[in-house]
Chain A
Amino acid sequence: MCTYLTEKISVDGSAKGARGWFGAQEATVYVDHPVHAQYGHTVNIDVLNPALGPSARVALELTEETALALAEAIQRAIGSAPPGLASKDQ
């Protein structure tokens, strides 16, 4: 299905896209048709800076199994580091 259902959050950090590094401002997560992955639907994650235009974007198209594994890996990586080490207030 085509869906506009989109989870959108503000993010603080950097991302590297087709034109190099940029300051990331937003991330969106949605389940919809991928552009490149050979599946009907994937979990699509975009890290964006709308102020720099649509090309300031890092895109992922993952199966739901690997998207969930990625989320868990993020949790584990943060959990195994000293608390607050990568915090905004580090």
Chain B
Amino acid sequence: MSSPNTDGLTNAIVAGTVTISGHGGDQIEAYLARPLDGGSRGGVVVIHHMPGYDASTKEIVRRFAVEGYNALCPNLYAREAPGADPDDAAAAVRALGGVPDERLVGDVSGASVHLKGLDGANGKIGVIGYCSGGRHTFLAACSLPVDAAVDCYGAFVVEDPPEGMPKHMQPILHLAPNLSAPLLGLFGKDDRFPDQDSVAALDAELSKLDKPHEFHSYEGTGHSFFSVDRPAYRPEAAVDGWSKILDFFGTNLSA
């Protein structure tokens, strides 16, 4: 049982599976976490990594609720693999070539609408994504009106994907003029996708367009450094990255 802290707040959250209207009105599974204490709050759409709508992603969703946000992660693989284990779902969607960009945008839009409809929602929306979700975050923030976006090591925003990738997995740098919100980018200097040249190219393009952005690349760090259940986890980068994310959302998602 939670007890009130010195601020008179319980810090309690509630989290669980909900159904939201995604792209094309499809009813899709999503994981929602929100604080139980009253008050006005921003919403955070969490876009899961390529390995899927898994336990570690749901932990991230709960973390945002603990930090005071309503947070929602749509299961991008719900259509192909309803009710399947996350790893089986990810394998099935991989075999089909991944998530179409248009559908991703529709699902993030649906998640945004759901968050804005919650009691106490202040109307502000942040989007954050990891791995393939980093590219998805940039795509969503260039396609929808949002208030803050965080790209965690998303590849193929700038660079051409290797031969053999699905046709829809194309660079989306040309969408940069439509970026609707400040962008925080968190990268590893040892990552090959995206490598530092790609990060620099995105940085330069956003500077040229006068789009507010803040990029950080961590030494001794590769891809997926926020993943606490993988060998790629880098605690120093992840702890600092979380701090930067919370500062960034604190600035941009306040009413």
Chain B binds chain A: yes
B97 interface residue (CB < 8 Å to A): yes
B60 interface residue (CB < 8 Å to A): no
How many angstroms from the CA of A46 to the CA of B92 in the assembled complex? 10
Whether A1 and B97, one on each chain, are in contact in the complex, defined by CB atoms closer than 8 angstroms, is: no
How many angstroms from the CA of A16 to the CA of B81 in the assembled complex? 19
**B89 to chain A: which residues have CB within 8 Å?**
54
Q: Which of B219-255 contact A (CB under 8 A)?
A: 222-224, 230-232
Whether B80 and A4, one on each chain, are in contact in the complex, defined by CB atoms closer than 8 angstroms, is: no
Whether A57 and B162, one on each chain, are in contact in the complex, defined by CB atoms closer than 8 angstroms, is: no
A10 interface residue (CB < 8 Å to B): no
Whether A55 and B232, one on each chain, are in contact in the complex, defined by CB atoms closer than 8 angstroms, is: no
How many angstroms from the CA of A57 to the CA of B81 in the assembled complex? 12
Whether B88 and A54, one on each chain, are in contact in the complex, defined by CB atoms closer than 8 angstroms, is: yes
**B131 to chain A: which residues have CB within 8 Å?**
2
A75 interface residue (CB < 8 Å to B): no
A3 interface residue (CB < 8 Å to B): yes
Whether A38 and B231, one on each chain, are in contact in the complex, defined by CB atoms closer than 8 angstroms, is: yes
Whether B230 and A28, one on each chain, are in contact in the complex, defined by CB atoms closer than 8 angstroms, is: no
Whether A54 and B81, one on each chain, are in contact in the complex, defined by CB atoms closer than 8 angstroms, is: yes
A22 interface residue (CB < 8 Å to B): no
How many angstroms from the CA of A68 to the CA of B180 in the assembled complex? 47
Whether B91 and A54, one on each chain, are in contact in the complex, defined by CB atoms closer than 8 angstroms, is: yes
Whether A57 and B88, one on each chain, are in contact in the complex, defined by CB atoms closer than 8 angstroms, is: yes
Whether A2 and B193, one on each chain, are in contact in the complex, defined by CB atoms closer than 8 angstroms, is: yes
Residue of B nearest to A1 (CB): B193
B13 interface residue (CB < 8 Å to A): no
A39 interface residue (CB < 8 Å to B): yes
Q: Known contacts being A1-B223, A4-B98, is A59 close to B232, with CB within 8 Å?
A: no
Pick from B87, B165, B193, B223: contact of A35, CB under 8 Å:
B87
Pick from B49, B87, B169: contact of A4, CB under 8 Å:
B169
A62 to chain B, nearest CB (A): 15
A70 to chain B, nearest CB (A): 19
Pick from A8, A33, A50, A54: contact of B51, CB under 8 Å:
A33
B84 interface residue (CB < 8 Å to A): yes
B103 interface residue (CB < 8 Å to A): no
A53 interface residue (CB < 8 Å to B): yes
Residue of A nearest to B191 (CB): A1
Whether B95 and A33, one on each chain, are in contact in the complex, defined by CB atoms closer than 8 angstroms, is: no
B120 interface residue (CB < 8 Å to A): no
How many angstroms from the CA of A4 to the CA of B89 in the assembled complex? 14
Whether A50 and B94, one on each chain, are in contact in the complex, defined by CB atoms closer than 8 angstroms, is: no
Whether A48 and B94, one on each chain, are in contact in the complex, defined by CB atoms closer than 8 angstroms, is: no
**B50 to chain A: which residues have CB within 8 Å?**
2, 32-33
Whether B81 and A2, one on each chain, are in contact in the complex, defined by CB atoms closer than 8 angstroms, is: no
**B162 to chain A: which residues have CB within 8 Å?**
3, 5
List 6 tightest A-B contacts by C-beta distance, closest first: A1-B193, A54-B92, A54-B81, A54-B84, A54-B88, A35-B87
